[in-house]
A and B are shown apart, each in its own frame.
Chain A
Amino acid sequence: MTEPQVIARPGGADETRGADDIAVRVEHLTKVFGRRPLEAADRLAAGASREDVAKLGTAAVIDASFEVRRGEIFVVMGLSGSGKSTLIRMLNGLLDATHGIVEIDGERVTGVDAKRLRAVRRSQVSMVFQHFALLPHRTVLDNVAYGLEIQGVDRERRLELARDVVRRVGLSGWEERLPSELSGGMQQRVGIARALCADTPVLLMDEAFSALDPLIRREMQEQLVELQAELGKTIVFITHDLNEAMFLGDRIAVMRDGRIVQIGSPEEILTDPANDYVAQFVQDVDRTRVLTAASVMEPPAASVPVTVGPRGALRAMRDVQSSTLLVTGPGRTVLGAVRDRDVLRAVQSGHRELRPLVDADVHRVSPDTSLAELPELAVTSGLPIAVVDGGDRLLGVIPRVMLLAALGNVPTETSEMAIVDLPPALDPAIVAQTLDDATARFDSQEVSDAR
């Protein structure tokens, strides 16, 4: 299956992997709060459980290891108490690690003195907070310029840069207001602007949208994805909201009781949960937001160039066992679709041209169109949906049957653990089978009717 993220977000590409592509490296990171943290960390490393060391201290994060690639949105997801907030605070040294290593852009964050740590924070990593954490006694503009102020940029220059970032997040005109005069969503825009303005390659976002109401949250998520595609920042995003994780994450780390239980792309987490816990967790996710047209489309086998004529089209229909075909023009651009009924009549009456039979009213979508938008299109046209690139060239086809299966939180067979049974939703073999059955029946009926 193609990686839809690659198409949707060029910044998140993973074609080349090398040491240079790692923005954040975390190795065996452990944090224990309490009276004897070191001893507890040693015993955890030796395989003790969280309960085993409860007397020595509270193990918030246990043996976390992962790498965040440059330009990636890496989401750490877990319920409250899973240790995700502690984890993110160790990434920029707000909390000292009990054990383990954190490197940002090759710069150590763990085990360095306060001065070195401040230098890393100034140049490498900024942060967005759950409750915004704006300086209430400063204007929006001064808040946004705060990072630059600490970096020692002179006032005129930093306000100029800040004004630019304020415009980028859509807050022009509010520069001289105080944070208290802004709504929650706008305040968090200021928080994001402040982090962007510091111009660090890595952004940490701690439950950044959790305090916002759902409509605003959705907008902020979309805007974040846009900003990230534009600026190519590396983002580590903490959330307890699975839908948010699925929407934002190029990769997701699922945390439970201080440990990372699975790291993978949203689709991997969804279709191949590492254990029952993750499976339970993802059960309620709205998969239409995660899956895109690219993740359910089929290779465009059911398509023919317009030049083959009605006979060629009929032959292709028999070969791929489909009652409808997409017809492409020069450069594989989509012209429309033909139905078997029309093609058969044309063949019988001896027409040579396919073009007059083409129904141009085919829906075209881009590969990163959310699955949520597709059913409506399928219902209104009755033709397969063409997935096209920016130049209207055909990339793949989504048959209508495929949509039903992909949307199926309905398991295709029995219905115990929907999530475990679900992979067929994405398994082309089963969908193709269903499709074949349906079209075969339809074809034979049509042919006999024609006779």
Chain B
Amino acid sequence: MLDDIRLPLGDWVETGVDWITDNLAVLFDVIRTVVGGVFDVVEMAFTEPPAIVMIAVLALVALLVRGWRMGLGTVLGLVVIVLVDQWDNAMATLALTVVAALLALLLAIPLGIWAARSDTVSAIVRPVLDFLQTMPAFVYLIPAIILFGIGVVPGIIATIAFAMAPGVRLTELGIRGVNREIVEAGAAFGASPGRILRQIQLPLALPTIMTGVNQIIMLSLSMVVIAAMVGAGGLGQDIVQALQRIDVGLGFEAGLSVVILAIVLDRVTNALGSLQAHSPVAKLRSRRRSAAAAAASAPSPHDVAAVASVETAPAGSGR
């Protein structure tokens, strides 16, 4: 009967992880040193400057990509974080998120490109991503501790594993979704596959890829809070503490700081994908282009007449 049979899946995984720990220790040491080093630098960059400077920088970014309202909202939100005395924690969390998200992107985008170009790779990668995405986030922490010990690094590694799936998926989706004729046009004029990727597929897939970037960042932020359980620090540390002490006030303050960070990150990265018409950056771009247009070709009256006669109804033919 089935009751008597016990599939020792857990034992196998344990054996596998043990084997990896024994034989690939050097590799993991290298990873730990590199990831830890990168995190230290980023964290220092975020925590060293006075809060007021960081707030100004972040608000400026928000203002440029999204407009003055977003800039103002960013200032207000970040000031609240300072006022509830969570600034250092928030910057540590931001550093964790940024590092984890960057590393996840470095893995996810090339993998997504590869999957977009090969049906075989796509067929293999898809179930792996399903697995990574649905496995409860806490479970990643266990092998991460074994492999990297306690601290920031296992938190970052677990975050990468958890957060990279949408990046791969959306990169693949974006590239596969690029109009077939436009890709064909590149090929028809003799462009190499690498050139088609750089000049046609990636630029046209950018909005979708940016959605993936946004997703990775948001998932990273949610995961680094959990990663505090293995000693990753930041806002998560206070939240875990508040949980252990049933401290509603501390829990709310730290939690609210996470929410504010999340909103700022989400809006800014979202706007990067499709720079809105009224954002200062977009305005600057279109102004430069129309200036170039005016300078490049003051059309002669004859040309204008020709265009007018051949295109009497541009609006109609566009339909």
Asked whether A139 and B299 contact (CB < 8 A) given A129-B185, A213-B317, the answer is no
Chain B nearest Cβ from A286, distance in angstroms: 22
A305 to B16, CA, bound (A): 107
Question: A172 vs B200: C-alpha distance in the bound complex, in angstroms?
Answer: 25
B134 located at the interface, meaning its Cβ lies under 8 Å from any Cβ of chain A in the complex? no
Q: List 30 A-B contacts (CB under 8 A).
A: A119-B190, A122-B190, A123-B190, A126-B189, A127-B184, A127-B185, A129-B181, A130-B181, A135-B185, A136-B204, A147-B189, A150-B189, A172-B299, A173-B299, A173-B304, A174-B307, A175-B293, A175-B297, A176-B290, A176-B293, A178-B289, A183-B314, A183-B317, A185-B314, A204-B188, A213-B317, A213-B319, A215-B312, A216-B311, A219-B310
**Inter-chain contact A213/B187, CB cutoff 8 Å:** no
- The answer to the question of B306 belonging to the interface, with a C-beta cut-off of 8 Å to chain A, is yes
**A-contacting residues, B170-204, CB 8 Å:** 179, 181-182, 184-185, 187-192, 195, 199-200, 203-204
How many A-B residue pairs lie within 8 Å, measured between CB atoms?
Answer: 117
Shortest CB distance B209–A (Å): 14
CA distance A28 to B154 in the complex (A): 63
Task: Let me know if B296 is at the binding interface, CB within 8 A.
Answer: yes
Least CB distance, A376 to chain B, in whole angstroms: 24
Contact at A176–B307, with CB atoms within 8 Å?
no
For the complex of A and B, the 7 pairs showing the least CB-CB separation, nearest first, are A183-B314, A173-B299, A176-B293, A122-B190, A121-B190, A172-B303, A133-B181
Starting from the known contacts A146-B189, A172-B303, 14 additional A-B residue pairs (CB-CB under 8 Å) come to: A94-B188, A122-B189, A123-B190, A126-B188, A127-B188, A133-B185, A137-B204, A139-B289, A147-B190, A173-B303, A176-B292, A177-B293, A198-B189, A213-B317
Q: Which of A123, A126, A129, A173 meets B184, CB within 8 Å?
A: A129
Query: Closest approach, in angstroms, between the C-beta of A135 and any C-beta of chain B?
Result: 6
CA A242 to CA B314, docked complex, whole Å: 26
8 Å CB contact of B303 from A94, A118, A167: A167
Instruction: Indicate whether A131 reaches chain B with its CB closer than 8 angstroms.
Output: yes
Chain A residues within 8 Å of chain B by Cβ, number: 52
Nearest residue (CB) in B for A151 is: B190
* Interface check A86, CB cutoff 8 A: no
Given A175-B293, A185-B317, A150 and B188 contact (CB-CB distance below 8 Å):
no
Q: In residues 90-107 of chain A, which contact B (Cβ within 8 Å)? A: 92, 94
Instruction: Tell which of B190, B292, B300, B316 has the most Cβ of chain A within 10 Å.
Output: B190
Tell me if A81 is interfacial: C-beta within 8 Å of chain B. Answer: no
Residue of B nearest to A197 (CB): B189
- B137 to nearest A CB, angstroms? 37
In contact, A135 and B199 (Cβ under 8 angstroms): yes
How far, in angstroms, from A69 to B274 measured CA to CA in the complex? Answer: 48
Which residue on A lies nearest to B286, using beta carbons?
A178
Q: Report yes or no: A118 in contact with B297, Cβ–Cβ below 8 A.
A: no
By a CB distance below 8 angstroms, the chain A residues around B179 are 131, 133
| CA gap between A334 and B184 in the complex, in Å | 55
